[in-house]
């Protein structure tokens, strides 16, 4: 399964222990991780400015993610969806361009448009349940 992780999920995966960290391990072990340039830029900003992780550690994380994931850049916007935030529109565009099976996010705006999106959008708990109940 190709899985796109949004910034908030990646931040939780690397900054805390718990569900998002467990998901990240499961995805890296048995699925294909996809991230976008928008997410990588947001991840860098959040980890350094909001959480205070040293830039060198963030650099190492980015190198790791780029080596483990398909990185999507310059994806076109998805027409016909009411997405208020430009970065959310970019994230969705990158997920679609990456031909993922699921976009995992905690972003309420993206979760709100899940029913009309051209791909499956789940929160982290939803993906965890999906992985537990879907045959490999």
Query: Percent of the chain scored above 70 by pLDDT?
Result: 96
Assess contact for 37 and 72: CB atoms under 8 A: yes
Give dist(CA 81, CA 88) in Å, integer. Answer: 11
Which tokens sit at 48?
A: 């350094």
In the predicted model, what is the mean pLDDT of residues 43-72? 96
User: How big is the CA angle at 53 (ends 45 and 121), to the nearest 5 degrees?
Assistant: 50
Residue extents of the structural domains in the chain: 2-133
pLDDT band at 21 (very low <50, low <70, confident <90, very high): very high
Beta bridge partners of 72: 36
The predicted-structure confidence for 67-116, as pLDDT tens digits, reads as follows 999 999 988 877 666 677 778 889 999 999 999 999 999 999 899 989 88
Q: Which fold has domain 2-133?
A: Rossmann fold (3.40.50)
């Amino acid at each position: 399964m190709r899985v796109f992780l949004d910034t908030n999920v990646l931040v939780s995966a690397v900054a805390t222990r718990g569900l998002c960290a467990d998901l990240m391990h499961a995805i890296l072990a048995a699925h294909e991780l996809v991230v976008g340039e928008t997410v990588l830029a947001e991840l860098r900003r959040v980890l350094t400015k909001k959480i205070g992780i040293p830039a060198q550690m963030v650099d190492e994380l980015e190198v790791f993610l780029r080596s483990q994931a398909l990185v999507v850049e310059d994806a076109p916007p998805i027409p016909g969806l009411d997405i208020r935030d430009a970065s959310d529109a970019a994230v969705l565009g990158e997920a679609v361009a990456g031909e993922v099976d699921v976009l995992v996010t905690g972003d309420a705006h993206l979760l709100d448009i899940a029913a009309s999106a051209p791909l499956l959008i789940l929160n982290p708990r939803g993906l965890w349940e999906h992985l537990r109940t879907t045959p490999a």
